[in-house]
Amino acid sequence: MFAQTTCAFLVAALAIFATPAPSIAAESSCPTVLNHKFANLMDEPVSLCQFSGKVLLIVNTASECGYTPQYDGLEKLYRRYRDRGFMVLGFPANDFGAQEPGSNKEIAQFCRMNYGITFPVFAKTAVVGANANPLFRDLAAKTGKPPRWNFHKYLLDRTGQPVAVFESAIEPEDRQVTSQIDKLLGAR
């Protein structure tokens, strides 16, 4: 019974991180910075083009970092603004202090059980250095600010342009972040 319940829970938890397929229209009007595909935590390919036209907060995350409690603030931010065209996209990375050692399955379970995460979280990836994924390479090039630690945040407007970068120590619900999001969501 325990194994069956655990398995059912894991399937339900992983289902949260599944993302719908993008439309053809979204692909054709996809901003360059979003023109990438990444696996989600269920190892399914996801085109970032499906997030075109939304205000995005893109964050590199880790499960064993002093900033890990920011998952709570990221989820609150997502729930607060999602109906207005806002998304949080999480990219777990083990680049800083080896603070994301888990498998994708373990990351999914950690996020769901500890923080109730419902925003899209992608498969573990590199965000700095020679192996950095192309999204984080593009964001670092456009802003001149590569991540220096876990929970580095890039805010993109509806056209996919980075408009703000928030260092790790800045909490997701900090006024610096929310005022920028409010401004971008008000602009159509």
Q: What is the 3-state secondary structure (H, E, C) of the chain?
A: CHHHHHHHHHHHHHHCCCCCCCCHHHHHCCCHHHCCEEEECCCCEEEHHHHCCCEEEEEEECCCCCCCCHHHHHHHHHHHHHHHCEEEEEEEECCCCCCCCCCHHHHHHHHHHHHCCCCCEECCECCCCCCCCHHHHHHHHHHCCCCCCCCCEEEECCCCCEEEEECCCCCCCCHHHHHHHHHHHHCC
Q: Which of 7, 30, 49, 65 is catalytic?
A: 65
Active-site annotation holds for 111: no
Catalytic residues: 65
